[in-house]
Structure 1
Amino acid sequence: MSLVVMKFGGSSVGSAERIQKVAQRIVEKRQQGHQCVVVLSAMGDTTDDLIDLSQQLNKNPPAREMDMLLTTGEQVSVALMSMAIHKLGHPAISYTGWQVGMKTDEHHGRAKIKDIKPDRIHKALKEDQIVLVAGFQGTSDEGEITTLGRGGSDTTAVALAAAIQADECEIYTDVDGIYSTDPRIVKCARKLNEISYDEMLELANLGAAVLHPRAVEYAKHYQVPLVVRSSFTQNEGTYVKEEAVMEQGIVVSGIAYDKNVAKISILGVEDVPGVLATFFNALAEANVNVDIIVQSGVINGKADFSFSVTLEDKDRAIEVVEQARSKVSFDEVTSETELVKISIVGAGMVSNPGVAAKMFDVISKQNVSIKMVSTSEIKVSCVIAQKDLTEVILALHTAYGLDSQTTAFVGGPKDRR
């Protein structure tokens, strides 16, 4: 008998009908001889609806009270799922994050897991229960309810799998695995049978929304066997593991994109030692995360340089730069939005020269200008105009031999197979 953690997202439990289907799937897993611990997100758009409701009452609500509010969504899901499983004749029990010993730091809205004491889970499993756990939440040492931020239910599932030494952690979503790129853009995207932790972590950090980066980090650190599969089909999913078998001839495993990009340029900066340190220390102190940095050559003792931030951080970053005028002389600061960062990722890139050159060539043949570039051993990222996203991804996908002969599966309200 193996121990399996199953995680279902909001779209998978978005209605009573879908909860019943997921309940049947959980029971089927149990009937196959597995012990099941199930992590659930809030139903459908519940979290967004709760946020909208809070905004009607207070545009700047206290972070503590937001956590009190938002954690109710997952509690609804686990209670209803328990009822549905009982209806099918199987024992089940629902728990909140704090009931299963999910200890976090004190940062409301973006807490990080410090420790898990899963005694109640082990006790329930010994009693032959199906255990249902509310994702996205925990409690601080002071007993305050906290939330884990974006992707918190994925993180909950993987962290629990590590804590209880599960044999496998299954992440159920609306696609039947991890694809070479977004199957909503490229209909012939290739489903990957397996992918390495490092490749998946790069894709997740670069915008692929199937798994959250923190969940992948946990899986890699604790060597948790991870599988991504569809809530709507019985198709085999994608395995995320330490070392993945590379398909022959496939150097690039996936293509990710991120629309949450703003470019800030500081023009006519006095070229003296410590200039970059002045700007980027100030940005760090303001908690502004900088991604790509590009500096031009020096002309007449002055240089231009640009860096990228998230759209949410754009205005704050400009404010910080302007405040640095008292320390550094420069002509002006400008910003640009409506951008997208497109990235190719593949473990085989490190031993295959010319991968980046091909990317630049493909983009140029689409008559698209590259605004910024960033590279690592297993990825190359280019910032381009957002309007060119679709044509560039389609061209890159074909150029790197990733096109499949079959149409990618994307589940949803109109496709519940």
Structure 2
Amino acid sequence: MALIVMKFGGSSVGDAERMKRVARRVIERHREGHQCVVVVSAMGDTTDDLIDLTKQIGAVTPPAREMDMLLSTGEQVSVALLAMTIHTLGEKAVSFTGWQAGIHTEAVHGKARISDIQPGRVRQALDDRNIVIVAGFQGMTEAGEITTLGRGGSDTTAVALAAAIEADVCEIFTDVDGVYSTDPRIVKCARKLNEISYDEMLELANLGAAVLHPRAVEYAKNYKVQLVVRSSFNHNEGTNVKEEAVMEQGIVVRGIAYDKNVARISILGVEEKPGQLAKVFTALAQEQIDVDIIVQSGVTNVSADFSFTVSLSDLDRVLQTLENIRSTVGFREITSENNLVKVSIVGAGMVSTPGVAAKMFETISDLGISILMVSTSEIKTSCVIENEGRLNEVVQALHTAYGLDTDSTVFVGGPADRR
């Protein structure tokens, strides 16, 4: 008998029929003798519908606390309905909100981090032979305030809960069969990966691959949670996310990710003296704004220019924050661009293989597309390019260049690596 955490996203429980399918899937595992904890997202477009309601009442910038009160209700609907469905099919089930399940978070509304889980009620319900249904995406502060975990919060809930109860496996059910070498909606011949390392998956998730949220992968890596990504619509084998993945012969690049949610900000004419960058990025950090690629240029004895990328959804807040510190930092001008995308290649074999980055630059250049910014690590290279409707073409070209098409010969490296 195993202790299994099963997470189902909003599309998996999007209507009554899908809810029944999920209930039958969970009962199947339960009747095999396993203990099951199920983490569920809000049904379908519920969260978007709730956000639209705030706009309809004219709440342009609603209080963050009240938004968490509102958005947390979506998951509560899901868990109650799923528990009822399981009851109608002849098995015992009990539903919990995030706070009833013992999930404690930091005091940040909108994208709180889990600080602790006290799963006593979950364990007791399992001991009473219940299937336990837990609302994802939510928790409670020490002061008793409801919080939400931000995008991908249900993935994070599932993995963190699996760590807290020492589950044997955490299964993330989604609308695809597993983790693919790239988005199969763009590249029809993308290959499904049987397994992938935590580090590779974390890079892909951070770089835009939507199948798993980065924080969920971080939890899995830190607490050695066995993680499986699989489809909620069939019983095909999924992708195992683990400490070290067996590499296919010759595979250097494992996946290609993209992110359309990119904006570039340039700060021009910054007075050249120590501490200027610290002032800028400290101010952004205090606003909970994540910064990605940073490039400094135009350095003289008097001034310097630098650019950085952020999520497009944070652009307005970034510009306002920079205006607030203009007198403190002292700069001539701020410019911004929002018609950008970031394309990235990821693979644990990149660090020891020459020519990987060179192949990426060459492939993009051959399409007549300019590279605006570059960022590298041991296992990834990212390029920021203009989004002129050619993203699919770039992803397909890179997928082919590295031999990731299912009927291709894999890329095995080249001459000098300029990464």
Smaller-chain TM-score bracket: over 0.9
CA offsets, 1:209-246, max 9 Å, x none? 11111111111111000000001111100000001111
**Structure 1 residue 137, shift from structure 2 partner:** 1.3
Equivalent position SS for 1:98: coil
2:414 aligned partner: none
**CA distance in structure 1 between the aligned counterparts of 2:251 and 2:306, rounded to whole angstroms:** 35
* SS, match of residue 403 in structure 1: coil
Query: Which runs of structure 2 are paired with 1:317-336 in the superposition (5 Å)?
Result: 317-322=318-323, 324-326=325-327, 330-336=331-337
Partner in structure 1 of residue 402 of structure 2: 400
The answer to which of 232-241 and 383-392 deviates more is 383-392
Q: Find the residue that maps to 2:369 and give its secondary structure.
A: coil
Match of 1:53 in 2: 53
Which stretch shifts more, 224-233 or 263-272? 263-272
CA deviations on 1:257-301 (whole Å, 9 max, x unpaired) are 111111122334454444434433443344433211112354685
Residue 85 of structure 2 aligns with which residue?
A: 84
Deviations 1:148-192 (A, max 9, x none): 111111111111111111100000000010011111111111100
User: Residues 56-109 of structure 1: CA distance to partner in whole angstroms, max 9, x if unpaired?
Assistant: 222232222222222221111111111211222111111111111111222222
Q: Does 1:9 align with 2:14?
A: no
Once residues 87 and 320 of structure 2 are traced to their aligned partners in structure 1, the CA distance between those partners, rounded to angstroms, is: 56
Secondary structure of 2:6's counterpart equals strand
Cα separation, 1, equivalents of 2:374 and 2:102: 44
Deviating more after overlay: 20-29 vs 164-173: 20-29
Q: Does 1:219 align with 2:220?
A: yes
Q: Measured at CA, do residues 321 and 88 of structure 1 come closer, stay the same or move farther in structure 2, by a change above 3 Å? A: closer
Distance 1:361 1:164, change over 3 A: same
Q: Look up the match of 1:196.
A: 197
Q: Tell me if structure 1 keeps the 8 A contact 2:197–2:243.
A: yes
Cα RMSD (Å) of the superposition?
1.9
Cα distance 1:364–1:144, how it changes in 2: closer, same or farther (>3 A)?
same
User: What residue is the counterpart of 1:125 in the other structure?
Assistant: 126
What are structure 2's unaligned runs of at least 5 residues?
Answer: 409-419
| In 1, Cα distance between equivalents of 2:101 and 2:301 | 63
Q: How does 1:16-415 map to 2 (within 5 A)?
A: 16-57=16-57, 58-298=59-299, 302-322=303-323, 324-326=325-327, 330-387=331-388, 388-405=390-407
SS of alignment partner, residue 217 of structure 1: helix
Give the drift of 1:33: 2.1
Tell me how far apart the structure 2 counterparts of residues 194 and 222 of structure 1 sit (CA, whole Å): 18
CA distance in 2, matches of 1:206, 1:115: 27
Q: For residues 327 and 399 of structure 1, what CA distance do their matches in structure 2 show? A: 48
Q: CA shift at 1:125, angstroms?
A: 1.4
Q: Aligned pair in 2 of structure 1 residues 209, 85: CA closer, same or farther (>3 Å)?
A: same
1:258 counterpart letter in structure 2: D
Against the structure 1 CA distance between its residues 113 and 267, is the aligned structure 2 distance closer, same or farther, given a 3 Å change threshold?
closer
Name the amino acid aligned to 1:117: Q
Report which stretch shifted further, 117-126 or 44-53: 117-126
Deviation at 1:15, TM superposition (A): 0.4
State the match for 1:414 in structure 2: none
CA distance in 2, matches of 1:143, 1:370: 48
Residues 341-385 of structure 1: per-residue CA shift (max 9 Å, x gap): 111111111111211111101110111000000001111000001
| SS at 1:260 equivalent | strand
Deviation for aligned residue 1:332: 2.9
- Give distance in 1, aligned partners of 2:60 and 2:139: 25
Quote how far apart the aligned CAs of 1:256 are: 0.8
TM-score, normalised relative to structure 2? 0.92
| Percent of residue pairs bearing the same amino acid type | 72
Amino acid at match of 1:401: G
CA distance in 2, matches of 1:300, 1:116: 52
> 5+ residue gaps in structure 1?
407-417
**TM-score (normalizing by structure 1):** 0.92
- Distance, in Å, in 1 between the alignment partners of 2:173 and 2:83 is 18
Higher mean C-alpha deviation, range 347-356 or range 111-120: 111-120
| Aligned partner of residue 68 in structure 2, secondary structure | helix
Take 1:142 and 1:187, find their aligned partners in 2: how far apart are those partners?
A: 49
Q: Distance in 2 between matches of 1:259 and 1:300?
A: 36
